[in-house]
Amino acid sequence: MYKIIRDEFSKLENTIHKISTNTFIAAFSGSEGWEQFVDDIYTNGLGIVEGADYVGVTTYTDARAAEYPPIKDQLDKIYHSGIDAWKADIKAVKDKYPKTQVGITSIAPIPDWVNTALFEKQKEKYVEAVARLAQPRLKLGTPYTESVWDTSENKYVDHTKYKDVPVGDEPAVVSDEAERDAAQAIVDATPQSVIDSINS
């Protein structure tokens, strides 16, 4: 998992903390650890990244109000469990946000540059996968073009045919099919917005 670090002086969120190794990565292409970070979010999703900590300006009254259950639920608690149980729940919230509190540490949203890095990686992988799928399929054999007279169009038409068709369990064929399956899985998993950005 990764944690974004906010610089206290500049307020920029341009450092990544890799928690498993307790190392820090500068948030720009070419820095040590950057490619691994991008590969990890591509493989595992943005859920492995947590935004930077920041101290908000929420007052204790706003913090309490946000955490108190709705009035209906509070009345239901009193009816079913009694006033003491309700008081215990309310006290827990009041203790969590004391009147002396001046701010609350929260988690900031993930910075836009993380989404951009993921988007660019998805584009790169999609282009690679499409190029891989465009290569001839080994199990079909060696492609060649043959011109055949088409009587309906009254002209020669090129048809792709195959020769030297290999046996299905040859290692090269098995490897080629596995690579094609992996490439197709990448294409299928690529968000439409990424595909549209390439096609436009």
Q: What pLDDT was estimated at residue 64?
A: 87
pTM of the model: 0.66
From residue 20, give the alpha-carbon distance in Å to each of 2, 48, 53, 126, 133. 8, 12, 18, 29, 36
Closest CA to 141 of 115, 160, 117: 160
Give the whole-angstrom CA distance, residue 94 versus residue 141: 74
Q: What is the pLDDT of residue 83?
A: 95
Order the strands of the 49-50 sheet from edge to edge. Answer: 23-26, 15-18, 2-5, 49-50
Taking the alpha carbons at both ends of the chain, their separation in whole angstroms is 34
Q: What is the pLDDT of residue 18?
A: 95
Q: State residue 119's pLDDT score.
A: 96
Angle between helices 192-199 and 112-134 (to 10 degrees): 70
Q: What is the pLDDT of residue 199?
A: 84
pLDDT at 168: 66
Domain ranges (residues) in the chain:
2-52, 60-103, 120-199
What's the confidence (pLDDT) of residue 57?
Answer: 59
Chunked into runs of 10 residues, the chain (200 residues) has average pLDDT values of 89 92 92 94 95 77 87 94 94 86 76 95 97 91 89 90 83 92 96 92
Numbers of helices and strands, H then E, in the chain: 7, 8
Per-residue pLDDT at 162: 85
Provide the pLDDT for residue 87: 95
pLDDT confidence of residue 172: 87
